[in-house]
Amino acid sequence: MEYLTEAYRKFGIRDSIIEFAAETERELKTRFDAIDANAEACQMKVLLAMQKNRVSEGCMEASTGYGYNDLGRETLEAVYADVFHAEDALVRAQITCGTHALALALSANLRPGDELLSPVGKPYDTLESVIGITPAPGSLAEYGVSYRQVDLLPDGSFDYENIKKAINEKTKLIEIQRSKGYQTRPTLSVERIGELIAFIKSVKPDVICMVDNCYGEFVEPVEPTDVGADLCVGSLIKNPGGGLAPCGGYIVGKKEYVEQCAYRLTSPGLGKEVGASLGLNRAFFQGLFMAPTVTAGALKGAIYAACLYEKLGFPVVPNGTESRHDIIQAVTLGSEAGLIAFCKGIQSAAPVDSYVTPEPWAMPGYQSDVIMAAGAFYQGSSIELSADGPLIAPYNVYFQGGLTWYHAKLGILSSLEEMAKAGCLPQFA
């Protein structure tokens, strides 16, 4: 298909890269078919929840001020609860990001004297300030909430012995991060999360098990709330927003814990009754409807990147054949030049700000300079084509997103082209 090759040439991608990538794409056909089948099943799940809750034209209307009796907001939350097979849901534009959603769920359900436990090692960088690992105003530590963690074993398995020892009379909430964050540990499958929750509940049945579900929604046919999670938390500018939600976050789970979150988000005595939707309901509904398909495209892109970079000799997590449980692909590039070139390639493939050159900077909430490439329609939307990484050895880049598979593919080819220009891929010199 010469016309397709010519299309990529117009983006400055050399023929040797196009040919190299085409062979890998052919090898992935069976796997891509399985991803499409999962997306189809998830699409039916979302559609069924919308029909069950009688989503109507009236649900698309805006509310202002206090937001009392917002039909769309209330229906959207009922839909989310059904999609996740949960008792209740809080889905709000007033939740500013994934970190905010997690901080909200933690602060709402922990009290002075309680202890928070992470049984899967260090949490994502931005949670360090929330917890108080890095001192920050308003942290959980300032309110008398203690923290401890149990690292994963070297092979990525759970350290059940030390998890059991760490659970004590003060342990109130267990925080399980599904995705890898700025690490190269395995992402946790829903099945493994269920096994961990079952073990924790056998030790202390009344402990709250909360899952940071960011980047994992709709990658599998089931979600953590299907396997015992009391709370499941995420961002609408990641998978479940389908690239159409301009902001927002969600919390789903047991009614009593979700209600605590609502009271913390708004005010004691008000809870879920207030919070104007301001005309965003349509984007939230439509984004959720599109989410399984969009997530499938991003997942194909992640696997494609893994296979290509692995063939070129770079360590990748997950590797090209492993099962997938989120949309993030980690690649160890081994040099600052390689990390910057990769992100430059992703940025150059963007529909927005493609002419901008990404530069490392000290981003709020991170412990080192970070470079981010994200020419997105919505600022910070990581379901859109994006890549980022801290400028510290071994120079891991974390690639994710792509509203369509075709865009994800272009981004990966562009990253290879920029890596070649920077002298990091002598195979294509």
Model pLDDT, residue 365: 62
For the chain, give me the number of helices (H) and strands (E)? Answer: 12, 12
CA 198 to chain centre: 24
User: Do residues 421 and 353 lie in contact, with contact meaning Cβ atoms separated by under 8 Å?
Assistant: no
Model pLDDT, residue 326: 96
Q: How far does the chain reach from its first CA to its final CA, in angstroms? A: 25
The domains of the chain are located at: 2-42+291-428, 61-288
The pLDDT tens digits of the residues spanning 353-377 come to 999 999 988 766 666 789 999 899 9
The pLDDT tens digits of the residues spanning 256-267 come to 999 999 999 999
| CATH superfamily label, 2-42+291-428 | Methioning gamme-lyase, C-terminal domain (3.90.1150.60)
Model pLDDT, residue 56: 98
| Residue 122 CA neighbour count, 13 Å, CB half | 12
Residues of the chain with pLDDT under 50: none
Residue 241 DSSP one-character state: G
Whole-number Å distance between alpha carbons of 137 and 129: 8
Pairing of strands 249-253, 88-92: antiparallel
User: Do residues 345 and 11 lie in contact, with contact meaning Cβ atoms separated by under 8 Å?
Assistant: no
* One-letter amino acid for residue 390 of the chain: P
User: Do residues 122 and 112 lie in contact, with contact meaning Cβ atoms separated by under 8 Å?
Assistant: no
User: Do residues 248 and 237 lie in contact, with contact meaning Cβ atoms separated by under 8 Å?
Assistant: yes
Of the candidates 72, 125, 93, the residue with the CA atom closest to the CA atom of residue 235: 93
If you classify domain 61-288 with CATH, what class do you get?
Answer: alpha beta
The pLDDT tens digits of the residues spanning 97-143 come to 999 999 999 999 999 999 999 999 999 888 999 999 999 999 999 99
Model pLDDT, residue 361: 81
And the tokens for 20? 């190299």
